[in-house]
Amino acid sequence: MTDHHHLEQRRVRFDFEHTPLHWVPDEPEASHIMNTLHLILPAGEFWFCRVYNKALPLVKDARLRDDVQGFVRQEAQHARAHDSALKPYLLRHGIDPAPFTERLDWLFDRALCDHPLGDNALSRRLQPWWLRQRVGIIAAVEHFTCVLGDWIITTRALDHADPVMLDLLRWHGAEEVEHRCVAHDLHVAIGGSLLMRWLYMPLVSAVLIFLFSSAMKSMMRQDPTTRYRPGFLSLWRQLGQRGVLPGMGHVGRSVLRYFNPRFHPRTEGDLNVALNYLARSPAAQRAAGERGAVPA
């Protein structure tokens, strides 16, 4: 069970008016790969919220209910924050997200919806099972978001990057570390097994590589400076070696840890480091100031 830490929604806002397309200086490929998050996460994280709202009535433990509700509030804010980068940032720089996001909507709105094979008697009967599978998928994804979140708040290799985009990614990464236990605890609470965890990790790893690769290519094709570049895995390896992306070995070892039967996310990342960043994040500080300024 999670050490109880109430999950707060921070209503952050970002102004991308002065953020360059290549927001990591002289690193167009690393900038594009991290920008794939703006394409993937709005649809993905709002899907998390829909699945968790369905699972909430199954949770009897008051602390876990509070965690799940806090998780939903934070993920909804993450989705809105990344979505806010699409028009004033990507479109302003001539990158149209639609060729990728229209295909992605099929995944979350059709393939992973409540009734992917139609609303019929069999589908209704399978609802508890199907909900458990989707919660298991989210638990595997959340392992990656915690590992990547911990990396973005602790790496010093990006300190010289655009401060607004870096703050968006670090605020998000810190909240991923902050709520790292919720998905795992929910999966266990509704009957998710170790075997399901083992099955979903390779599946989720393959789907995430496909999504990052497709989103990266969609953006790079629209940018004259990155039109002809090697594939995603090759780029990831090179950029990881230079430190501007998390290393492949670092992420690969985190995948292996997930297969440990005693795995629990509380040993991933460092909550104090995450809360420390959230206390000094410019966007989180502004959000706290605005909340404090609202009359009771």
Angle, CA of 181, 78 and 262, to the nearest 5°: 15
Min dist. Cβ of residue 295 to Fe ion (A): 31
Using DSSP, state whether 231 is helix, strand or coil: coil
Choose between 47 and 89: whose C-beta lies nearer to Fe ion: 47
Min dist. Cβ of residue 43 to Fe ion (A): 12
**Contact call for residues 153 and 167 (beta carbons, < 8 A):** no
Give the count of beta carbons closer than 10 Å to the beta carbon of residue 193. 12
For 182-252, strand residue ranges (E) read none
Contact code string over 170-189 relative to Fe ion, x by CB under 5 A: ------x-------------
- Taking phi over 0 as left and psi of -120 to 50 as alpha, with beta for the rest, 211 belongs to alpha
Site for Fe ion, residues 23 to 82, rule: CB under 5 A: 75, 78
Residues 69/120/190/78 CA torsion (nearest 10 deg): -30
- Tokens 């989103």 identify what position? 215
Q: Does 2 help bind Fe ion (rule: CB under 5 A)? A: no
Question: How far apart are alpha carbons 15 and 112 in whole angstroms?
Answer: 33
Choose between 31 and 145: whose C-beta lies nearer to Fe ion: 145
Q: Does 145 help bind Fe ion (rule: CB under 5 A)? A: yes
Q: How many residues bind Fe ion (CB under 5 A)?
A: 4
Choose between 182 and 220: whose C-beta lies nearer to Fe ion: 182
Min dist. Cβ of residue 75 to Fe ion (A): 5
Min dist. Cβ of residue 220 to Fe ion (A): 24
Min dist. Cβ of residue 153 to Fe ion (A): 13
Binding site residues, Fe ion, CB under 5 A:
75, 78, 145, 176
